[in-house]
Amino acid sequence: MDIVEIRRLKKYFRDGSQVVKALDGIDLSIEKGKFTVIVGASGSGKTTLLNTIAGLYEPTEGTVTVDGMDLSKMGEEQLTVFRRRRIGFVFQGYNLIPELTVKENIVFPLALDDTRPDPAYFSGLVHLLGLDNYLDARPHMLSGGAQQCTAIARALITKPSIVLADEPTGSFDMKTTQNVAGLLKMTAATFRQTLLVITHNLDLAQLADRVVRLQDGKIVR
């Protein structure tokens, strides 16, 4: 079963009098429960594709369906709720709230819906990511790897349909990259999450079930 279905997707941006074809005719399906990596050079369209799947960009042409929902048929308010409940995000820069503790950062998406985490799920998640002893700490007290693990836990806390990760190990050395990448894959597999990662890191790509290559806004075989 496919969690993401993309058909004839085009996304163009205007730069003055020029039209930039960021995505130029993408057909792609992402299988549920799998770890898929998208690789490509800078400017190949990776981030644009991820943002379009997230509903942050509206396609110029084509359709994007996520978890059975055609994003183009949803209003902005619907999209906001859909993203919060169905899509987990992991960013290169962590995007943690500095005033909140690790625990408060992790459960923040649930707090927006005035709901509480499943205690067993929360406990298993933070234990798997090695955060048991840091729940009362502030982000600035953590290493980069621990901050990214906090971001991964936050992305997974709502039990989303898919987790989207944009260069999640981009600023790390090789050892931390391997640790965080391994934890990301293991956590997604343990909780049966679908994981879509964009990266230039070939070590991370080797952990994936499938690698998709982008070049000049097109998928290359």
Distances (CA, A) of 157 to 30, 42, 124, 188: 21, 31, 11, 11
Question: Which residue's structure tokens are 């290359």?
Answer: 220
105 CB-contact burial (10 Å; exposed 0-12 / middle 13-18 / buried 19+): buried
Which of 11-20, 78-87, 152-161, 200-209 has the weakest average pLDDT?
200-209
Structure tokens at 131: 């955060």
Structure tokens at 59: 């396609």
**Three-state secondary-structure class, residue 193:** coil
What pLDDT was estimated at residue 173? 75
End-to-end CA distance of the chain: 22
Q: Quick check: 159 and 110 in contact, CB under 8 A? A: no
pLDDT tens per residue, range 140-197 = 999 988 998 999 999 999 999 999 999 887 767 777 777 777 777 887 788 888 999 9
What pLDDT was estimated at residue 61? 96
What pLDDT was estimated at residue 93? 82
Spatial distance between the Cα atoms of 70 and 64, rounded to a whole number of angstroms? 6
What pLDDT was estimated at residue 116? 93
What pLDDT was estimated at residue 54? 94
- Domains in the chain, please, with CATH? 34-58+75-220 (3.40.50.300)
pLDDT tens per residue, range 26-80 = 999 999 999 999 999 989 999 999 999 999 999 999 999 999 999 999 999 999 9
